[in-house]
Amino acid sequence: MSQLYKNNVYVVNHPLVQHKLTLMRKQESSTNTFRRLLNEISMLMAYEVTADMPMQDIEIETPMEKTTGKVIDGKKLVFVSILRAGNGILEGMLSVVPGARVGHIGLYRDPKTLTAVEYYFKMPHDMDQRDIIVVDPMLATGNSAIAAVERLKELHPKSIKFVCLVGCPEGVNAMQKAHPDVPIYTAAIDRQLNDHGYIMPGLGDAGDRIFGTK
């Protein structure tokens, strides 16, 4: 249940997703609660983003007779987590697609140039035969998402999608400008980015809230 916000940008407005996101936003939600909600909302986002995954027919036998059934090939799918907050989304996504592979990409913002600098990149092999879903809870400036997708495109994957929980017009526009071919799935597009690169009203620093580091 997602709504097209504009070209290739989908807002998942299912009541369960919206309800959980509201609880996550509350500043009094503990690390424990935040993590549990993130896990649950990630399963629901996985449900949406995989809705058009290719399926194949296989022959099976029920206790009654032979029949054909449809299956997806989870091994073809790679969840790529942008460190570190992306890792908060992985568990929920993997619980609904347990066969998926996982890649990690670490980027930090150079304080002088404000550009994204890669410090870690580990992907499964045969990326040219895989569909990628990049995960990061917040699409703020868009710099990390843009850099991650740029790097992943060098591996010529079959497709790339991007999933976040909260975006803002600045991040969505930047990402769309850089990668108009990459669909964005988000639970919300908030009002704006503030001067410190945080989304308003947002939910604060997703990494700190997931890992209890503040």
**Contact set with ligand URA (CB under 6 A):** 85, 138, 140, 197-199, 202, 205-207
Q: How far is the CB of 188 from ligand URA (least distance, A)?
A: 12
Shorter beta-carbon distance to ligand URA: residue 106 or 197: 197
Q: How far is the CB of 140 from ligand URA (least distance, A)?
A: 4
Shorter beta-carbon distance to ligand URA: residue 157 or 167: 167
Shorter beta-carbon distance to ligand URA: residue 78 or 166: 166
Q: Which residue matches tokens 């304080």?
A: 111
Q: How far is the CB of 43 from ligand URA (least distance, A)?
A: 21
Q: Which amino acid is at 188?
A: A
Q: For residue 63, with 0-12 CB atoms within 10 Å meaning exposed, 13-18 middle and 19 or more buried, which class applies?
A: exposed
Q: Would you tell me how many other CB atoms lie within 10 Å of the CB of residue 129? A: 12
Long-range contacts of 112-116 (CB under 8 A, 24+ apart): 114/143, 115/143, 115/147, 116/143, 116/144, 116/146, 116/147, 116/148
Q: How far is the CB of 24 from ligand URA (least distance, A)?
A: 12
Shorter beta-carbon distance to ligand URA: residue 30 or 67: 30
